[in-house]
Structure formats: structure tokens, C-alpha cells
């Protein structure tokens, strides 16, 4: 089981939007990409997924960009992971019949532990940590 770069980008993008919250001016893709050192062309696709899951909202045209759709406290890392990869920990093998039930139970316990940990971190906390770091600049 390996954490993907995409999931990391998604969390960092949401963090950037959370740090900018609740500023009326939305953040442009290029701004987020530059701040978080994420390839803009890839970030586009990630933002779309986050939007389709209702975590962020967008506006087009001049003065367009992205903003959170809810308060940072209402968004967890688990929400972001589910938005970009379907589930915090994907286990297709749970659906297959060749795996005995007792092994499946062990997998489920691991899955639930990871999910709980992911849902236990919201972006208000993350922002608080970011702001407490003196070397971090934010707007």
C-alpha cells in the first residue's frame, strides 16, 4: 500500500485554499500550483475532482478561481482522499471470494484504522499548524 503523489497534491491544494479562506477573491490554478509546487496541468484535473465531490467551488472568467465550499473545519483529510481516489484505503480483494474471511477481517481492521486517522484530521488543524510555523508565509 502506497500513498500516491496525487493524494498529496490534493491535500496541499486544499491546504492552500484553506489558508486563503475566507478571502472573497478566489485562488487561480496557477497561484495554487506555484505556491505548492504542483504541475498546473495536473492540478487542474485534481481540482475538478475535488469540486465534483463538493469540497471546493470555482468561478470562471476574469477574477475566477477556486475557493473552499465549506469551512476548513468541515473538511478532513479523509474527505480529500475519498474525493481523489475513491477511498482512503482501497481493498478490491475484500470483494473476491478466494480470500478467507479471517484474512478479510484483518484487512478491514487496517482499513478502518487508516480511515479513522484520516477523518480525524481536518484542515482547520492543519492551517493552525501551518500558521504556527514562523517560516511559513501565508495570506
Residue numbers of the site for a second copy (CB under 8 A)?
1-5, 7-8, 11-12, 15, 36-37, 77, 81, 85, 88-93, 98-103, 105-107, 109-114, 116-118, 120-121, 126-127, 129-130, 133, 136
- Report the half-sphere exposure of 2 (CA within 13 A, side-chain side): 3
Q: What cell numbers appear for 79 in the block?
A: 474527505
Q: Which residue in the set 22, 24, 61, 106 belongs to the binding site for DNA (CB under 7 A)?
A: 61
- Nearer to DNA by C-beta: 38 or 122? 38
Q: Closest Cα partner for 4 from 12, 74, 28?
A: 12
The values of phi and psi at residue 110, to 5°, are: -65, -45
Q: Which residues of 86-120 are buried (b: 16+ CB within 10 A; e: fewer)?
A: eebbeeeeeeeeeeeeeeeeeeeeebeebbeebee
Whether the Cβ atoms of residue 33 and residue 46 lie closer than 8 Å to each other: no
Between CA 46 and CA 117 the distance in angstroms is 22
- Nearer to a second copy by C-beta: 70 or 82? 82
Given DNA, a second copy, none, residue 24, with its beta carbon under 5 to 8 Å by kind, binds: none
- Pattern 62-101, binding to DNA, x per CB under 7 A? xxxxx------------------x----------------
Q: Which residue in the set 44, 110, 128, 139 belongs to the binding site for DNA (CB under 7 A)?
A: 44
Q: Which residues bind DNA (CB under 7 A)?
A: 2, 4-6, 9, 26-30, 39-42, 44-45, 47-48, 51, 58-66, 85
Amino acid at each position: 500500500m502506497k500513498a500516491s503523489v496525487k493524494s498529496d497534491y490534493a491535500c496541499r491544494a486544499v491546504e492552500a485554499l484553506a489558508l486563503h479562506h475566507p478571502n472573497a477573491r478566489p485562488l487561480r490554478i496557477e497561484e495554487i500550483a506555484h505556491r505548492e509546487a504542483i504541475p498546473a496541468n495536473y492540478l487542474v484535473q485534481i481540482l475538478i475532482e475535488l469540486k465534483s465531490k463538493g469540497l471546493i467551488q470555482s468561478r470562471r472568467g476574469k477574477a475566477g478561481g477556486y475557493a473552499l465550499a465549506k469551512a476548513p473545519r468541515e473538511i478532513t483529510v479523509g474527505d480529500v482522499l475519498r474525493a481523489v481516489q475513491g477511498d482512503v484505503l482501497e481493498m478490491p480483494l475484500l470483494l473476491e471470494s478466494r480470500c478467507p474471511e479471517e484474512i478479510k477481517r484483518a484487512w478491514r481492521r487496517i482499513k478502518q484504522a487508516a480511515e479513522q486517522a484520516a477523518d480525524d484530521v481536518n484542515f482547520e488543524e492543519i492551517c493552525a499548524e501551518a500558521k504556527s510555523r514562523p517560516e511559513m508565509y501565508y495570506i
